[in-house]
Amino acid sequence: MNQNWTLATILIRNGSLKVGDEVVVENFKGKIKAMLSDRGENLKIAGPSQAVEVLGFSGVPPVGAKVEIVIGGRQDFSSPKPEIKPEVSSKAEKQLKVILKADTQGTLEAISGSLAEEIRVIFGGVGNINESDVLLARTTNAELVGFNVKAPQAVKKLAESEGIKIKTYKVIYELLGDLEKRVLKILEPTIDEEILGLAEIVAEFVVKKQRVAGCRVKEGRISKQSPLHLRRGEKILGDCQIISMKTGKTDIDKAKKGEEFGAVFSTQIDFKIGDMLISFKKLPQ
């Protein structure tokens, strides 16, 4: 019987992994059918600090789960267990995930011990930033931070192609301060902004094949010049700007509390009736 195996990216922290190993991770089991390096090369064995793509899991393991090699005893791989998706709590959504590299183990431990509880270190290691770190950052959606270490040019190119930003520091308090700012931004996305106005989307219609949001200003004012957050409930879904703003058939540049207007946005945002538009400007740093 044919088996559909799942491809997963694994960062090896201790020991080694080789083709043929039987592994288990939480509710999933597998047998390594094939391994690929970050360059797409077939591997027979991989060691510490390597990030490899592995074919052979019976389901999709959760990100960050620990993979263990089964030693002794035969596992039955004929009938895979159903996929179990981990629950994502609101606390997890408010975490800043980082991959942390430092010049010494002592420095690494000192930085890790000074981080806020909202910062989750996905992986911490000693030495320069390498390609495996970049691939792990991509896989886990983490930020890549280094102290007193470098990133070779080849690693920087890989990071750029993968859309991963690398930040390195030589002063610990600057590193900690920047991470604290990032956490505050996650906990309160508008902390570095001044709110200029709020408007509720109360209607939706189409004019000349364009989606138009019918809005009513609840507080302050809304203008074409200011950027907007689109908020649904307590979550900001995205940013946009108004490119067309009308009251009836009259073009306007702004609307104040109590006024209604129709708006066409600069980007295709999936707004719904009941969503809120937040007009804002960035505060000086």
Q: Tell me: the pLDDT tens digits for 189-204?
A: 666 678 899 999 999 9
**Whether pLDDT at 89 is above 50:** no
In the chain, the amino acid numbered 226 is S
**Do 52 and 121 reside in the same domain of the chain?**
no
Task: Answer with the one of 187, 207, 236 that is the final residue of a domain.
Answer: 187
Q: Are strands 228-232 and 210-223 parallel, antiparallel or unpaired?
A: unpaired
pLDDT band at 268 (very low <50, low <70, confident <90, very high): confident
What distance in Å separates the CA atoms of residue 69 and residue 46, rounded to the nearest whole number? Answer: 13
Range of the domain at 202: 193-282
Say which CATH number the domain at 137 has: 3.40.50.10050
Say which CATH number the domain at 54 has: 2.40.30.10
In this prediction, residues 28-43 reach a mean pLDDT of 75
Look at residue 82 and tell me if it is in a domain.
Answer: no
Task: Answer with the one of 187, 216, 246 that is the final residue of a domain.
Answer: 187
User: DSSP 3-state assignment of 277?
Assistant: strand
Look at residue 1 and tell me if it is in a domain.
Answer: no
Q: Within the chain, how many helices (H) and strands (E) appear?
A: 5, 21
Instruction: Kindly report which listed range (24-33, 77-86, 152-161, 193-202) carries the lowest average pLDDT score.
Output: 77-86
Total tally of structural domains belonging to the chain: 3
Look at residue 64 and tell me if it is in a domain.
Answer: yes
Look at residue 81 and tell me if it is in a domain.
Answer: no
Q: What is the pTM (predicted TM-score) of this model?
A: 0.46
| CB 154, CB 133: distance < 8 Å | no
Look at residue 174 and tell me if it is in a domain.
Answer: yes
Report the candidate in 166, 168, 169 with the shortest Cα–Cα distance to residue 131: 166
Task: Answer with the one of 160, 187, 214 that is the final residue of a domain.
Answer: 187
